[in-house]
Amino acid sequence: MRASQLYAPTLREVPAEAELISHQYMLRAGLMRKSASGIYSYLPLGIRVLHKIMEIIREELDKADAQEILLPIVQPAELWEESGRWNEYGPEMFRLQDRHQRHFCLGPTHEEIITALVRADVRSYRQLPLRLYQIQNKYRDEIRPRFGVIRSREFIMKDLYSFDRDEVSAQESYRAMYDAYTRIFARCGLKTHPVEADTGAIGGDQSHEFMVLGDAGEDLIVFCPDCGYAANVERAECAPFDSAGEQETLAELEEIATPDVTTVEELTRILKIAPGRVLKTMIYLADEKPVAVLIGGDYDVNEIKLKRAIQCNQLELAGAQTIREVTKAPVGFAGPIGLGIPVYADYSVERIVNGVSGANKEGYHLRNVNIYRDYTPAAILDLREARAGEKCVRCGKVLDQARGTEVGQVFYLGTKYSMPIKAHFVDQDGQEMPFVMGCYGIGVSRTMAAIIEQHHDEDGICWPVSVAPFAVIIVPVSYKDDEQRTAADGIYKILQDAGIEVILDDRDERPGVKFKDADLIGYPLRITVGPKHLKEGYVELKLRSSHTQLLVSIDDVKDQVESILDRIGE
């Protein structure tokens, strides 16, 4: 391809809307343009990178006995009603009606469609296991589209669904996909870290997220540098605390006037106590019934864990009205003593001796509140958000934390969809059984951005060879010069004939402009054809990421380029 023909409008200025480096470079290098909030068009260089990623995905999944299909984007509401998710999915779902007022959505994910498909066609255990995938646009009306294609409303996903006859075989599918993901990301040049994850709206029993670490990540991960345990904080288990070393004697319960003191922060300041002494009491509506959650004042409630632990479908913080009804006081004076609703306590509460809590009375708190003597929780559970410094649940050493962005996730679903949708097969002994399923997603467009996050410098992108839009760019210092043009054209032809993806910068631009564009777009290898070396029959090769330069005789260019690309492509 000649640069004069290439549709790659590069920008010198950093676009104001782009906070993240990958977003900036995707716009500046002319990989994509924004069409609406969270909705993008890909230009030639962008789609070439996406195709490279997709090819790597296809190769690895096909090796793992998966088959590619293509499912509809527009999905009928009826199927989502069958699974119960038409209401559950909420405002993230793009919904529409056809001319007959029938309801549809733009697929945010495809469990319903695929399960219905397989239900109709797959009848026997002999047809299993079945692993089907597609690469296609997904639609989620994200509340905060941001970071370009990292969190967009239309994005490209690879989604795969596995159907097995029993749990053992389904676990094998899960493992095969986990391993395929590891290879896919490595081949894309991405360092990822698999972490235990919550199953969120997709549901199921077991899940791993593949995270790329970085401060801009929206996910928080805890990990144990010692035993390797790693989990999203949404999921990370917290250990109960060891019982306090020195036992304090239980002091007498005491009411204290605390007018206008309604936060843990104010309370600790006024009473001169550590936040860990405060019994923070939060009132929630769990499936519309009020419950209280008690947690150490130095911790936050992990609502995902809470929802799972008390097995409710809907959970929200109670409003001022409910709090007044339940505690007989305005917001800020709730405490565990005498509450007529279930009180669920986090592990952090068990060790609080002579704690401070609200008095369920306006303007008052209580001092020396003690568990079992003054109140008894309905249950003591793991409800807090894990964080660095905690004890690892696996080995007891100290956890560390990091931020990350999820590029892929694997889920073991079991029969969560096959049961309600009645997707059955006939087993060896003639019995009807529900499929045991798994589902597996990779954000293809997000992966492209994540690769840039890991491979760039102050001048632009440094693509790994495996996903580069073109491997090589030839930059003649002046294409108008006869000798340089002849040499550049010759090298261009030789490389093209060798099957190397190459750009020839034949534009009538100053060399500085051409070099800047080449660096910004990030071709792994640049060949500079300049007057000085050309006289001796040499051109200069420069590696984008290591900045290594070498002079190569024109006769050796092809062999050198091939061997360098092989070496840096590993």
Kindly state whether residue 404 participates in binding ligand ATP, applying the rule CB under 6 A: no
Smallest gap, in angstroms, from Cβ of residue 111 to ligand ATP? 10
Single-letter residue type at 349: V
157 binds, among Mg ion, ligand ATP, none (CB under 5 to 8 A by kind): ligand ATP
Is residue 72 helix, strand or coil? coil
Out of 129, 217, 404, 408, which residue is the one contacting ligand ATP (CB under 6 A)?
408
Smallest gap, in angstroms, from Cβ of residue 544 to ligand ATP? 26
Helix (H), strand (E) counts: the chain: 15, 31
Is residue 498 helix, strand or coil? coil
Binding residues for ligand ATP, rule CB under 6 A, total 18
Stretch that binds ligand ATP, among 121-129, 148-156, 338-346, 495-503 (CB under 6 A): 148-156
Tally of CA atoms within 13 A in the half-sphere of 557 that contains its CB? 31
Stretch that binds ligand ATP, among 98-106, 246-254, 441-449, 483-491 (CB under 6 A): 441-449
Distance CA 198, CA 236 (A): 9
Smallest gap, in angstroms, from Cβ of residue 445 to ligand ATP? 6
Nearer to ligand ATP, 217 or 297 (CB): 217
Smallest gap, in angstroms, from Cβ of residue 119 to ligand ATP? 22
Kindly state whether residue 140 participates in binding ligand ATP, applying the rule CB under 6 A: yes
Task: Sketch the per residue contact string, 199 through 218, with ligand ATP: x for CB under 6 A, - otherwise.
Answer: -x-x----------------
Smallest gap, in angstroms, from Cβ of residue 155 to ligand ATP? 4
The Cβ of residue 542 has, within 10 Å, a number of other Cβ atoms equal to 18
Distance CA 275, CA 488 (A): 70
Nearer to ligand ATP, 267 or 444 (CB): 444
Query: Which residue, among 412, 455, 462, 444, has the nearest Cα to 57 in the 3D structure?
Result: 444
Kindly state whether residue 446 participates in binding ligand ATP, applying the rule CB under 6 A: yes
Nearer to ligand ATP, 110 or 367 (CB): 110
Q: For residue 129, is the peptide bond before it cis, meaning its omega torsion is within 30 degrees of 0?
A: yes
Binding residues for Mg ion, rule CB under 5 A, total 1
Out of 142, 374, 427, 459, which residue is the one contacting ligand ATP (CB under 6 A)?
142
Kindly state whether residue 405 participates in binding Mg ion, applying the rule CB under 5 A: no
Kindly state whether residue 141 participates in binding ligand ATP, applying the rule CB under 6 A: no
Kindly state whether residue 409 participates in binding Mg ion, applying the rule CB under 5 A: yes
Out of 46, 107, 203, 441, which residue is the one contacting ligand ATP (CB under 6 A)?
441
The helix (run of H) or strand (run of E) holding residue 163 is strand 154-164
Smallest gap, in angstroms, from Cβ of residue 27 to ligand ATP? 16
Distance CA 440, CA 177 (A): 7
Contact present, 229 and 237 (Cβ < 8 Å): no
Instruction: Identify the bridge partners of residue 257 per DSSP, sorted by sequence position.
Output: 364
Out of 60, 112, 346, 406, which residue is the one contacting ligand ATP (CB under 6 A)?
406
Kindly state whether residue 112 participates in binding ligand ATP, applying the rule CB under 6 A: no
User: 275: which DSSP letter?
Assistant: G
Distance CA 392, CA 237 (A): 8
Distance CA 292, CA 279 (A): 12
Distance CA 365, CA 359 (A): 5
Nearer to ligand ATP, 89 or 364 (CB): 89
User: 466: which DSSP letter?
Assistant: G
330 binds, among Mg ion, ligand ATP, none (CB under 5 to 8 A by kind): none
CA distances from 434 to 152, 206, 431 (A): 35, 18, 10
As a whole number of Å, the end-to-end CA separation of the chain is: 25
Tally of CA atoms within 13 A in the half-sphere of 18 that contains its CB? 20
Nearer to ligand ATP, 199 or 281 (CB): 199
Stretch that binds ligand ATP, among 114-122, 150-158, 181-189, 507-515 (CB under 6 A): 150-158
Out of 152, 258, 327, 415, which residue is the one contacting ligand ATP (CB under 6 A)?
152
460 binds, among Mg ion, ligand ATP, none (CB under 5 to 8 A by kind): none
Kindly state whether residue 407 participates in binding ligand ATP, applying the rule CB under 6 A: yes
Please give the backbone phi and psi of residue 527, each rounded to the nearest 5 degrees, phi first.
-110, 115
Nearer to ligand ATP, 58 or 391 (CB): 58
Distance CA 110, CA 185 (A): 23
Instruction: Please name the residue that has the structure tokens 């799972």.
Output: 308
Stretch that binds ligand ATP, among 337-345, 437-445, 466-474, 548-556 (CB under 6 A): 437-445
- 360-379 residues in contact with ligand ATP (CB under 6 A) are none
Contact present, 209 and 408 (Cβ < 8 Å): yes
Query: Which residue, among 533, 566, 440, has the nearest Cα to 181 in the 3D structure?
Result: 440
Please give the backbone phi and psi of residue 15, each rounded to the nearest 5 degrees, phi first.
-60, 135
Using CB atoms, what's the residue nearest to ligand ATP?
Answer: 443
Nearer to ligand ATP, 149 or 286 (CB): 149
Please give the backbone phi and psi of residue 519, each rounded to the nearest 5 degrees, phi first.
-70, -40
Binding site for ligand ATP (CB under 6 A): 109, 140, 142, 149, 151-152, 155, 157, 200, 202, 406-409, 441, 443, 445-446
Binding site for Mg ion (CB under 5 A): 409
